[in-house]
A = this chain, B = another copy of it.
Amino acid sequence: MEKKFTYGQLFAFTQSVFLQIGCNATDAAIATKALLSADLRGIDSHGVARLSGYVRLWEAKRVNAKPAIKIVHETPSTAVVDGDAGLGLVVAPAAMQIAIDKAKNVGTGWVSVKNSNHFGIAGHHAMMALDNEMIGIAMTNASPLLAPTFSIESLLRTNPIAVAIPAGNEPAFVADFATTTAANGKLEMLQRKNSDTPAGWVQDKNGNTSTNAHELKNGGALLPLGGDAAHGSHKGYALGAIVDIFSAILSGANYGPWVPPFPAYVPMPENMPGEGIGHFFGAMRIDAFRPADDFKQHMDKWIQRFKSAKTVEGEQSVLIPGEPERIMEAERKKNGIQLLQPVINDLIELEKKFSVELI
């Protein structure tokens, strides 16, 4: 069972829920926009499907709906931000804005964040830079699901990296990807269908290749981008490690196996070395390097050349990072967002809990 909702319907409902847990009006709108950007862009695992999860974190007193987000250390081009256990959906845009403001002043801005929670999709925050003629960068750590090359213990999560780069007449270049072979959301889709995964996505608890989409429940782990050592999995592991270090060791958040889990029922790790989860943001002003118009003209040329490359038979064109998500967003803004029945059931529970109406 699936049902379509308009973006407006989901926006009004989600905003009401965030207001009900105590967010002020500004924060509720910011958090809603960040959360639903995932649904619009087709990253269904990170959107409204997680709303009840955020509420449970608030119920467990792990999310502070009225955070006093503050800079705890800074230089002209850097800052460490304490998210005061706020929703990552609110903390991240605030931290990205600090990066953008610093870039306005000295060319670039770099902000590492501690004491935060999940921030939705990285691409949404990176894209804040685009309206300011800047390149935007966003990354985050989270509780472990990924085993580094040769490990059978999970020590990192999917630790995504997003990089948004403005163009001229062409749409912006927006890369936003997990540093695992496959994002956990893709694995969840196969779990729902009881389908096998391609080889190279997961390993079992002993580190053997597996195609069982449910392997993580049995002590297995996601694999780093590359899949195995012969195909460069040490590179995916290194990328995930860099995200962890920039997000958490620069800021003072938790890292590696000590990052707090998203499900509120999972106990917190023992002897945590930091505060909350960590993010890292960057903004680089284009005209801190060369005139923005020159840059955009060459970005257009780059994009057009890649899009017009000769393709493997059966493929229409080389895709520019962000292109499928942009097409999805236009389609879903126009025709609505289809939700699966389990997600709708979660929203119905929230309707009852907060006496807010979905439709």
Contacts and interface: CB of A to CB of B under 8 A. Distances in A.
Interface in A75-112: 75-78, 80, 106-108, 110, 112
Interface stretch (A22-30, A34-42, A173-181): A173-181
Contacts of A226: 181, 225-227
A342 interface: no
Interface stretch (A58-66, A298-306, A344-352): A298-306
A149 B318 contact: yes
A213 interface: no
A76 B206 CA distance: 51
A76 B107 contact: yes
Interface string A317-333: 11101000000000000
Contact of A78 (B112, B201, B245, B289): B289
A33 interface: no
Given A175-B242, A251-B290, A301-B273, A309 B151 contact: yes
Interface residues of A, number: 84
A359 interface: no
Interface string A238-269: 11011011000111100111000000000000
A170 to B, nearest CB: 13
A171 interface: no
B207 A313 contact: yes
B230 A236 contact: no
A198 interface: yes
A112 B230 CA distance: 32
A130 to B, nearest CB: 14
Interface in A3-52: none
Given A256-B305, A313-B206, A284 B151 contact: no
A290 B278 CA distance: 14
B177 A235 contact: yes
A148 B318 contact: yes
A225 B236 CA distance: 8
Nearest to A153: B309
Given A77-B76, A321-B241, A232 B177 contact: yes
Nearest to A174: B238
A116 to B, nearest CB: 15
A298 B249 contact: yes
B77 A106 contact: yes
A77 B80 contact: no
A108 B295 contact: no
Interface of A: 73, 75-78, 80, 106-108, 110, 112, 147-153, 155, 163, 165, 173, 175, 177-182, 198, 200-201, 203, 206-207, 225-227, 230-232, 234-239, 241-242, 244-245, 249-252, 255-257, 273-274, 284-286, 288-290, 294-295, 298-299, 301-302, 305-306, 309-313, 315, 317-319, 321
Given A155-B309, A180-B232, A234-B321, 13 more contacts: A76-B106, A76-B107, A150-B315, A152-B309, A173-B245, A181-B232, A182-B232, A225-B225, A225-B232, A245-B302, A249-B299, A250-B289, A274-B298
Closest 3 CB pairs of A and B: A207-B312, A75-B107, A175-B238
18 contacts: A75-B106, A75-B285, A80-B290, A149-B319, A150-B319, A152-B311, A155-B305, A155-B306, A165-B245, A173-B241, A175-B238, A175-B241, A179-B235, A182-B232, A198-B230, A198-B231, A231-B231, A234-B321
